[in-house]
Structure formats: structure tokens, C-alpha cells
Amino acid sequence: MAINLMKAILYGLIMTANYESIKAEYSRWISSGVFCDELHKIADSEPEITDRFRKHLSFGTGGLRGIIGAGINRMNGLVVRRATQGLADYIKDNGGMSACIAYDTRNMSRDFAAAAAEVLCANGVKVFMFTDVRPTPMLSFAVREKQAFTGIVITASHNPREYNGYKVYGADGGQITDEAASAVSARMNSYDVLSEIPRISLEDARESGLLCDLDEADSLYYEKVKSLIVRGVLVADHAPKLSILFTPLHGSGNIPVRRVLGESGFANLSVVAEQELPDGNFPTVPYPNPEEAETFTLALQKAQGKDFDIILATDPDCDRIGVQARTRSGEYAPLSGNQIGALLCDYLITAKKETGTLEKNAAVIKTIVTTELARKICMKNNIALVETLTGFKYIGEKIGGWEQDNEYSFLFGFEESYGYLADGFVRDKDAVIAAALICEMALYHKVNKHTLHDALDALYLKYGYTDEKLISVTLEGADGMKKINSIMKMFRSDAKALMPGEEVIAAEDYLTGLYGLPKADVVKILFADESWLAVRPSGTEPKIKFYLGAAGKNKEEVAARCGVLQERLTFILN
């Protein structure tokens, strides 16, 4: 389909900061009769009108994500339909005529999924849609299983309750490539958000055979996940010995995680009742994010006086998982995303060696801001380690590439933000898979009289001590974006000047396309003592993120070194 460039310029690009043009777009929405009650309530608020109408919610590398509400810079049915029409054009341009759709428990997720299905079906695209909430990784699996051209999942992952999103997947089950995202964005931008987008009712779509249920993919997925257990005899003989407390945080992980663990033999499983059922308001947590300590408050209260070995928490779309593990003193302490990933990396290598299932060309993938402990583990085990940019889409792309050229056999991939994957039948981080492997690993160590914290200490003794910290600074709105750009420019200008007294051995600017990776807005500073600092804007939230890493002789030394880097960073930002 030829793209009308004038429309793209008019509708797709960021609007000027001129308030008259912003107010004109606001008035156009009022005149059209959409969201009138909500929009009339902000009639006297210039900041609110500006934020909602200063720009179109952009279609980034993963799709859309924003606050639910009226306006072109919000998640709503009009914006979803506009994006889906752009996607439908892209599908038809490339000869693909089928799509899978899933959605999580967030507010409006089911409605946005229905809106997407209505538009795709109206364009003659056959849609396979789950009839109830499902984790994001199950969508990834379904796309591959159905050999669909694309997939959509309605989720904002771990964002606050006010948000929702629209993620698009390619035929390989991974998030669409940057090139595909740009193409979809260009087609989307040719449509006025208030124009009439073609759609048909779900009832008519079902009658015509354009809409089909996708639930049949469930059992196939569960069998695949259970097949990933490495020490099958161990699990068969001892699984009930592991005491597990699980919270899905009102999200989509409740049924899948419990089913996989239950069918694998982990019968000693309890659930945090207050957080068991779907609820898009996430009333029991400030943020439904297993990275945040507050997420575990209710679970830790329930665990008091009990003998749970581990506590698991998954985010709303069940692609991330957090862990609190019992210590020898009987208390519970969190494991960071880096620590969980390092433990799983070492466990899978060791277990597969023991069972004779480790491929000769096995490889591990991590992102450039993920712990360097993984590199040490892989080096000592003669396992290849490959780095990608931040974002699991890049890990998925690597897996797909290896399937084509057989350079490596994918063993394990992870990122510091609590995302893990083993095997390639899913092409995104998967908390259901991670839950099964974490429980197997915890069971193995328990049978050998160790806690997961004991196992972590043993890992440090064997491979060397590391410590990492993540500092996120929220900077919202247009002014926030200017500040983020200013900070990135500062780090690019002269890294050594920013770090007086430090022996800087390299300042890597990934915007130049380092190491054959796609260009990315990331700067990583490497120091002579193996410590490092990386800075990048978030791709999904109005944040700039700083990653700190250190290596040393013991826990105290690496913690102190991270503290020094954090102090230097605080000084720079102030």
C-alpha cells in the first residue's frame, strides 16, 4: 500500500509545542463527540491538555505503551484501532493473512484486544484469539505454533496501574524487528486517529470464520515447559519437599504457573489469596513489579512463621519473575535479577553436563547491562557468551539466527530486569519457564542441604564476587525528555571528565554501532578495576536508567565500590 506522505507528516509526527495547535486538536476531539465527559473535565487545565495532545503516542520498537485515557498521547480504543490498521496494511503488503491476539489483566486489556481483532478481521486477516487472559510468552508460543504472520498482546508489563500497551510480535514469535516497527509506524501514521477505521463485530467475524479461539495452544505450551526440567529423577522423587509461596500480583500468571508446577510434582504450593485473582487496579501493590521490594509485602506477611523455601512473584503479563529465598537464619531475602540469572546459568550448565544433555556448541545470551558474573561462569565452563542490546527482542533475534546458521545452540538467555528464557519454542522472556526452573534449582540445593543464598555464596567463591545496582530516575513530560537528552549528551561528551580520579579505560557509545550491534542510545564506561557504569533512556517509561557493576575479592568490597560509583553519579546529576 502506498503511504500518503502528507498524511504521515500531518498525523504521525510529534506536534509542535505551540499550545494553539495542541488546543485545536483537543477541540477537534470534543467536536467529534468522543470521550466528551473526560475531556470536558480538563477544559481549564493547560498542562493536562498539553500532555494528552502534544504528540501522538509513538509506535516504538515494541509497539505502544501509555496511560489509559482520552487523547492522541494516551492508550484508548481510537489509538489502538489506528495502530491496528497500520499493522493490517503491513500484513497485507507482506503477504501474511493471520494473527494471534492475547491480553493480560490490566484495565481495558480485553476491550483493546477486541478492538484490534475487529480491525484485523475487517481487513480480511484471520485472527486466533485467546478467550481469557494469558501470559505474554504464551502469545509468543502461539504465533509460532499457528505459523501466524504476527501477534499482538495487550499489556503494559510491569508499569503502574494507569498504563496499558500494545506489543507486536513477528512470525518467529519474537517482538518485531526495528525495521518492521518502522514500517508499521509509517503505515499507522497515514491515518487520522479520528478517521473511520474499518471494523466488524466479533460475532460477525466468528460466523465468517475470520475469528477463532486460541485456547487449544495451552496444553501444547504446558507440555513444552515441563519438558525443560533437567533433573527429572530428582523432581519426580523429591518435588513435594520444596515449599513454595506464589503470588501472581493480580496478573495472568496464576493459572499457568500453578498448573506447570503442580503437574511437575511441586504439590507443596501456596498462593497469596489477596493477590490471586485478576484485578487491573492492582489494589494490594503500589506497582505490580517483582523488581520492587514492596511487591513482596503481603507475601512476606503470609510467610511469617511458615517454612516456605522460596517466594515467587510474577508481573501482570507473567514475563518477569522475582524471588525471595529463605536464608539459614530463617529470614527471607531477595535475589536480584542478576543473581537469579547467574544461578540459573550455572545450574543449567552443571545439570546438563551431569545428565549428558549439554550441546557441544551451547551458548548463553545476556544484555550489555547484565551482570559480568555470567561471563565468568561461561568462560570457566567453555560455554560461549553472546551479548545483545537491552531488550529481550534482541535475544530472540539471536536465537532465530542460530536456528538458521547453526552457529550456536541456545542454552539460556537473561537480562537484569528479571527476564529469563531457556529453549527457543518461546522467543521472549518467560516467567512460567523461569518458575519451573527456579523451583527445580531450589529443590536440588535443598536436597543437598543448601538454600539458594548458600548456592549464591558458593557461586561467588567459585567465580568471583560481583555486585550490581540499578538507579532509575523518572523525568516525565516534554521537559523530562529534554533533561534525559541533556544527560545522555553529557555522558557522551567526556566520560573521563565526569569521573575525576577514576581510571577510565573506555567509554563505549553504542549509538555508533559497536560490536556489530544495532545503534542504540546507550553509553557504557569501563574502569580499570573491572567495574562499569552504563546509562540509557528507558524504551517504555519516562525514565533514564543507570546501571552500576563492580567485581572484587568479597561482598563488602564490591558493595563499597558500587556505593562509590553511586555517589559519583549522584554528584554528577545534582
Domain boundaries, the chain: 5-216, 229-463, 465-573
pLDDT, tens only, 98-133: 999 999 999 999 999 999 999 999 999 999 999 999
Residue 14 pLDDT: 40
> In the numeric block, which cell numbers belong to residue 377?
561462569
Reported confidence tier of residue 9, pLDDT bands at 50, 70, 90: very low
Question: Does residue 15 register a pLDDT over 60?
Answer: no
**Alpha-carbon Rg for the chain in angstroms:** 24
Identify how many contiguous H helices and E strands the chain contains and give both numbers: 21, 20
Mean pLDDT of all residues in 408-425:
97
Q: Single out the residue of 448, 548, 535, 556 nearest to residue 487, CA to CA.
A: 535
pLDDT, tens only, 160-170: 999 999 999 99
Reported confidence tier of residue 62, pLDDT bands at 50, 70, 90: confident
CATH classification code of 5-216: 3.40.120.10
Residue 61 pLDDT: 72
Question: Does residue 85 register a pLDDT over 80?
Answer: yes
Q: Which CATH class is domain 465-573?
A: alpha beta
Does residue 210 contact residue 121 with C-beta atoms inside 8 Å? yes
Residue 5 pLDDT: 36
Question: Does residue 153 register a pLDDT over 90?
Answer: yes
Region label for 478, one of left (φ > 0), alpha (ψ between -120 and 50) or beta (otherwise): alpha
Does residue 459 contact residue 447 with C-beta atoms inside 8 Å? no
* Residue given cell 509509517 in the structure block: 186
> In the numeric block, which cell numbers belong to residue 469?
545496582
Question: 465-573: same fold as 5-216?
Answer: no
What CA–CA distances, in Å, run from 128 to 34, 165, 197, 238? 29, 19, 21, 39
* Contacting residues for 486 by C-beta, under 8 A, at least 6 apart: none
Does residue 319 contact residue 306 with C-beta atoms inside 8 Å? no
Backbone angles phi, psi at 573, to 5 degrees: -70, -25
Reported confidence tier of residue 574, pLDDT bands at 50, 70, 90: confident
Measured in whole angstroms, the distance separating CA 429 from the mean position of its chain's CA atoms is 7
Question: Does residue 7 register a pLDDT over 50?
Answer: no
* Contacting residues for 532 by C-beta, under 8 A, at least 6 apart: 372, 524, 525, 526, 547, 548, 549
Question: Does residue 375 register a pLDDT over 90?
Answer: yes
User: Burial code of 536-573, b = ≥16 C-beta within 10 A, e = fewer?
Assistant: bbebbbebbbbbbbbbbeeeeebeebbeebeebbeeee
Mean pLDDT of all residues in 317-330:
97
Q: What is the DSSP string of 179-207?
A: HHHHHHHHHHTTS-TTS------HHHHHH
Q: Single out the residue of 340, 330, 319 nearest to residue 432, CA to CA.
A: 319
Question: Does residue 1 register a pLDDT over 80?
Answer: no
What CA–CA distances, in Å, run from 424 to 27, 228, 391, 402? 49, 11, 16, 10
Which secondary structure element, helix H or strand E, spans residue 67, and what is its range?
A: strand 63-67
Catalogue the active-site residues. Answer: 157
Rounded-to-integer distance, Cα 323 and Cα 326, Å: 10
Give rounded-to-5 percent helix, strand, coil for the chain: 45, 20, 35
Mean pLDDT of all residues in 1-12:
38
Question: Does residue 8 register a pLDDT over 50?
Answer: no
Q: Beta 244-247 vs 310-314: how paired, if at all?
A: parallel
> In the numeric block, which cell numbers belong to residue 397?
533475534
Q: Beta 409-415 vs 362-367: how paired, if at all?
A: parallel
Residue 106 pLDDT: 98
* Contacting residues for 299 by C-beta, under 8 A, at least 6 apart: 245, 247, 272, 275, 311, 313, 324
Residue 541 pLDDT: 76
Mean pLDDT of all residues in 169-192:
94
Residue 4 pLDDT: 41
**How would CATH label the architecture of 229-463?**
3-Layer(aba) Sandwich (3.40)
Percent over 90 (pLDDT), the chain: 88
Give 461's DSSP letter: H
Mean pLDDT of all residues in 375-399:
96
Question: Does residue 2 register a pLDDT over 60?
Answer: no
Question: Does residue 417 register a pLDDT over 90?
Answer: yes
Question: Does residue 532 register a pLDDT over 90?
Answer: yes
Question: Does residue 13 register a pLDDT over 60?
Answer: no
Residue 539 pLDDT: 76
Mean pLDDT of all residues in 508-522:
93
Residue 11 pLDDT: 40
Question: Does residue 571 register a pLDDT over 90?
Answer: no
pLDDT, tens only, 199-212: 999 999 999 999 99
Percent over 70 (pLDDT), the chain: 97
Which secondary structure element, helix H or strand E, spans residue 31, and what is its range?
A: helix 19-32
Question: Does residue 432 register a pLDDT over 60?
Answer: yes
Q: Single out the residue of 348, 369, 327 nearest to residue 469, CA to CA.
A: 369
Question: Does residue 473 register a pLDDT over 80?
Answer: yes
Reported confidence tier of residue 60, pLDDT bands at 50, 70, 90: confident
What CA–CA distances, in Å, run from 370 to 337, 404, 567? 9, 26, 21
Reported confidence tier of residue 49, pLDDT bands at 50, 70, 90: very high
> In the numeric block, which cell numbers belong to residue 113?
484486544
> In the numeric block, which cell numbers belong to residue 323?
524471588
Residue 496 pLDDT: 83
Residue type at position 27: S
